[in-house]
Structure 1
C-alpha cells in the first residue's frame, strides 16, 4: 500500500500468467505527542520522491516497503518477540516476524529512525542515534539502504537488537485487483524513539513532517494521500494521545484484512472500501478490477447484474431502481418497480432486451394472480413474510426487496444470497464491514 519501489523482493504469492503478483509488505506508523500544548497525537509523514511508474509518486505516506529476502535472517537479532508469537499475532502460519523486521528496516532506511536497543546498555532503551557523529549515522543508514544483510552485520558488530517488541499491530490492507502493483501490507504503530531525529533519505523520500492527523487530512495542506493512508489517518484522528493509540492497538483481538476495489463514477476511477455501498456489487461484477463498474448511481444508468437481470436507475436524487428480469426461452422479461415518470418509464422500456410481459411491484399486499412466474428458464417467486413483500429470483437467490430493511430481510426463511433494493446498489445479506477498527 505504502511500499516504495525498491526491488528485487521476495513475493509470498506464486506468479500466475495474467495475474499480478502480490508482494508482502510492512509499514510503521510512528507517533508522538506534540511538544506544543494541546497539539496531542502527531504522526510522522514522509513525502515520496516523484518517480515514473510509481503509483505512490509524490504521495505523503508512512515509512514502509516490501519484505526482503534477508529479513528472515534478522530473527535472531530481534528482542521481545519470536516468530511463533509474531505469526500468531498476524494470523499467519509462519514468518510473521518478517513483517516486524521489514517495518523496522524500512523506517530506518526511509526516515532515519532505528528501533534497536543496545544489549550492553540500559535494558530496553533504544539506541540514541543522535549521539553518534553525523558521518557515522549516515554510513550506517547508507549500508542498510543497499538491500543486503548490512543491518544484520550492524546489529552483530554493535551488540544491537531490533526492538520489534515496541511495535503494535494495527491494520492490514491488500491493494485492489487491477492496480499496476499489489501489496499485502501489515501496518504497525510505535512511539517515536527518543534521541533520534527523522530525516528524508533524499532518494525514496524528500521530506519528513510531524503532523496531527487533522493537519495531514486538511485541504489546506493538500497532501497527496493514498486511500489507505487517508483511512488510517481518519482512525488516528480519534486518539487524543500517542499512547492511547498504542494501547488500543494492543487491545485489538483481531485485525481483519481490508481490500478495497476500484470502480468508475463522476469523479473518475476511485477506490471503493468494504463499508461503502458499492463494494459488494463491484466485487460480484468486476472481481478482477478492470474498472467496469460504477461507485455512484446516475439517472439512466443501465447495469447488467447477471445474464437474467438488468437494473435501470431512474431517480435523480433518490437513486430509484427498476429491474428487468428474464431473458430465458422466448426472451420475455418482467419489469419490477416501474418508475411513475413517463420519460423514465420509456427509458426502462428502451433498455429492455426483449418484450416486457409482466409488470410487478414490491410492497404490494397482493402480488397478482400467481405467486410464481416462469420466465422461460428462471423463476420469480413472490415473498410475503415478516412485513416483507418482495420477489425472489430463485436460481440466483436474488431478492428484489423494494424498501425492506436489512433487518426485515434477515428474518426471511428463504435462502438469499443477494439483495436488489429499490434504492442503492446490489448487496449481500450480511452486514458490511465497519469503516474503523476499534478495540474489543
Structure 2
C-alpha cells in the first residue's frame, strides 16, 4: 500500500435539535462549529463535531463497563445488524476488539464531548435500545472532564465509570461514510452518524479548537451573510437534510434507513478554469479506482461546460466562490435522500 492510500479513521456526529420556533421553515437546527485558525486541519472551516478514532474506543473494556452497570452485551446486537454496503471503516481491527459500528459511535460521542461539551449518555435507569431522541447529561463538572478527555482520550471511559453511565449509542443513526480524495495530503475515512435532540443543550467550547458554536437550519448555512466555509461532506449532508423540514420526519427516516448500509463517498477532484468539481460514485466521469487519482485532474473548460457533458451526474460543484452545490440526478444509494440545490431555495428568499 502506497503512502497516498493511507488514511486515519474518524467519526463525526450530525446533531439536530428542536429550535422551539414556530415561524421558521425548519423546526430544528443543526449543530456545527467554526474551527480555530490555529488547528492543523481545516482551520477557520465550519464542521460537524467529530475526530479521529482512538484505540480505546474499540476496547473490550467498554463491554466490561456495560456489564458492570447492568446492561447486557446482547443489547448492542441491533447496532451491528446492517444489510447493505459496508465500507472498510466498519471492518474490525482485530478479533479482540469490539465491533466497529459500536466503536465509531463511541468515537463520535467522545469527540463531540471534547469539542463542544455535549455528552450523550444513558444510565441503567434510562436505558432503552428503542430509537428515540438522544439523552444528554449536564449535571457534573463538564468543563473539568472536557479538558481531561481532550488531553487524554482514555479518560473518557474513566469518566463514564465514575458517572456510572454509558455513551448513548442507540440514539445514533448510521448516516454516511466519506473518504478524503487521494489527491489530498491528509486523508480521513469518516463515518457520519445522525442524532436528534428534543431540546438544545448548553454547550461548552473547547478553547483550543473551537472559536464559535453555530445552530442554524440546513438552508441557513448556505445564505450569503452566513459567512461560513463548508467542506464537501458538509455541503452534501446539509443538502440532504434540506429535504425534511421537521425533526420528527428526519428521525423516522434515519431510523428506517439505519440498517441499509453506506456507500463509500470518495470524491475525485477536478480543477476547471473557473472553479472545481468533485466527482462522486455513479457519475459518468467516476473512475474505476478513485484511490489511484493521486493528482487533481486539470480540465481546460469552465465548470458549466464540463458538467453539461454528463448524463449521470453525481458531483459537488464550486464555481470559484464559497458557494458549493451538490448535484445527483439518479436514484440515491442505500435508500438515502438526494441532495437538493439549496442555493435555489436561498436565492428565492
The alpha-carbon distance between structure 1 residues 151 and 53, as it changes in their structure 2 partners (threshold 3 A), is closer
Aligned to 1:70: 56
Aligned to 2:7: 22
Aligned to 2:22: 37
**SS of equivalent to 1:234:** helix
Q: What is the CA-CA distance between 1:230 and the residue it aligns to?
A: 0.5
**SS of equivalent to 1:264:** strand
Q: What is the CA-CA distance between 1:175 and the residue it aligns to?
A: 1.2
| TM-score where L is the length of structure 1 | 0.59
1:106 equivalent among 101, 111, 135: 111
Larger relative contact order (CA 8 Å, sep ≥ 6): 2
Q: Which runs of 5+ in 2 are unaligned?
A: 93-98, 129-133, 314-327, 338-349
Comparing both structures, which one devotes a greater share of its residues to helix? 2
Aligned to 1:49: 36
2:152 aligned with 1:147, yes or no? Answer: yes
| TM-score where L is the length of structure 2 | 0.73
CA contact (8 A) 2:135 2:197 kept: no
CA contact (8 A) 1:128 1:196 kept: no
Q: What is the CA-CA distance between 1:23 and the residue it aligns to?
A: 1.2
Q: Which has the larger radius of gyration?
A: 1
Aligned partners of 1:127 and 1:45: how far apart in 2?
A: 17
Aligned partners of 1:285 and 1:143: how far apart in 2?
A: 39
Aligned partners of 1:143 and 1:59: how far apart in 2?
A: 25
Aligned to 2:170: 165
Aligned partners of 2:76 and 2:150: how far apart in 1?
A: 24
Aligned partners of 1:318 and 1:288: how far apart in 2?
A: 22
In angstroms, what is the RMSD of aligned CA positions? 3.4
Residues paired across the two proteins, number: 295
**SS of equivalent to 2:105:** helix
Paired residues for 1:316-331 under 5 Å: none
2:46 aligned with 1:60, yes or no? Answer: yes
Q: What is the CA-CA distance between 1:32 and the residue it aligns to?
A: 1.2
Q: What is the CA-CA distance between 1:247 and the residue it aligns to?
A: 1.6
The alpha-carbon distance between structure 1 residues 234 and 425, as it changes in their structure 2 partners (threshold 3 A), is closer
Aligned partners of 1:99 and 1:213: how far apart in 2?
A: 24
**SS of equivalent to 1:65:** strand
**SS of equivalent to 1:220:** helix
Q: Say which is worse superposed, 81-90 or 238-247, in terms of deviation.
A: 81-90
Q: Which runs of 5+ in 1 are unaligned?
A: 1-15, 300-316, 320-422
CA contact (8 A) 1:116 1:162 kept: yes
Q: Say which is worse superposed, 230-239 or 86-95, in terms of deviation.
A: 86-95
Aligned to 2:193: 188
The alpha-carbon distance between structure 1 residues 293 and 433, as it changes in their structure 2 partners (threshold 3 A), is farther
Q: What is the CA-CA distance between 1:84 and the residue it aligns to?
A: 5.3
Aligned partners of 2:163 and 2:305: how far apart in 1?
A: 66
Paired residues for 1:20-419 under 5 Å: 20-39=5-24, 40-51=27-38, 53-54=40-41, 56-73=42-59, 75-76=62-63, 77=65, 85-89=78-82, 91=86, 92-94=90-92, 95-96=99-100, 97-119=102-124, 121-124=125-128, 126-129=135-138, 131-132=139-140, 136-192=141-197, 196-252=201-257, 253-274=260-281, 279-280=285-286, 287-294=292-299, 297=301
Aligned partners of 2:277 and 2:312: how far apart in 1?
A: 19
Aligned to 2:324: none
Aligned to 1:416: none
Q: What is the CA-CA distance between 1:45 and the residue it aligns to?
A: 1.0
CA contact (8 A) 1:199 1:207 kept: no
